[in-house]
Amino acid sequence: MVPVRALEGAKSRLGAVLDAEERRELVELLLRRTVEAARAADGVGLVAVVSPDADALAVAAAVGAEPVVQRSSGLNSGLLDARDALAGRADRLLVLPGDVPGIAASDVEALLAAADAASAGGRPVVVLAPDRHGRGTNALLLDPADVIEPAFGGDSRDAHAGLARAAGASFLELPGLLELDVDTPDDLLLAEAVRPEALHAH
């Protein structure tokens, strides 16, 4: 599941270094890359994009994702809407924010493998890839899909860890896997330095 707010007006915090058209192009490129990486990963049966934005959903469909129209407001509400819309079609839910440059199928497979190993104990599983600051969540795998509700925003890493504990789930973190997201000019500079190929169309 890849949530996308909108293409137009996206990533306003990058406004000091990118104009509106450049920000839109960046968000669209990262969305395409995220969907393509997820679709190429072994063990992924369905890739969906949830968004209130028709343009984002059109991009999603063009790269082979199932578009899910978000009717509520807010990221977490949209994920719940999409989870309900896909109920019965997925045992697990892997949430991949669409702003992680350089994501590859191997990253997705590493998250799935960690969940496989943890689920051998018979308990529900929550697997999380934290951001580089150790506060945010750059990937969240839930097995079963409704073991906790998503709590993106602010210190979501701690929120997800607390929810996992309260649910009696096994909680695993994979630091270093998908640490870099692109929200601020500093993030963009770092991404240009370490993953320049991920920020530009081929």
H helices of the chain, where? 20-40, 54-62, 75-85, 105-119, 156-166, 185-194
b/e for 188-199, b at 16 or more Cβ within 10 A?
bebbeeeeeebb
Chain centroid to CA 172: how far? 17
What CATH number belongs to 2-199? 3.90.550.10
Kindly report, residue by residue over 167-182, the tens digit of the pLDDT. Answer: 999 999 999 888 888 8
Instruction: Tell me what the mean pLDDT of segment 97-117 comes to.
Output: 92
* pLDDT category of residue 201 using cuts at 50, 70 and 90: low
The band of 198, judged by pLDDT with boundaries at 50, 70 and 90, is low
How do the domains of the chain map onto residue ranges? 2-199
52-64 per-position pLDDT tens digit: 999 999 999 999 9
DSSP string, 76-131: HHHHHHHHHHTTTS-S-EEE--TT-TT--HHHHHHHHHHHHHHHTTSS-EEEEEE-
Q: According to the model, what pLDDT value does residue 58 have? A: 95
**For residues 119-143, average pLDDT:** 93
Q: pLDDT exceeding 70 applies to what percent of the chain? A: 97
Q: What is the pLDDT of residue 1?
A: 96
- Rounded mean pLDDT, 147-153: 95
Mean pLDDT of the chain: 90
Q: Which residues contact 82 (CB under 8 A, 6 or more apart)?
A: 1, 3, 48, 50, 68, 70
Running DSSP on this structure, what letter comes out for residue 199? G
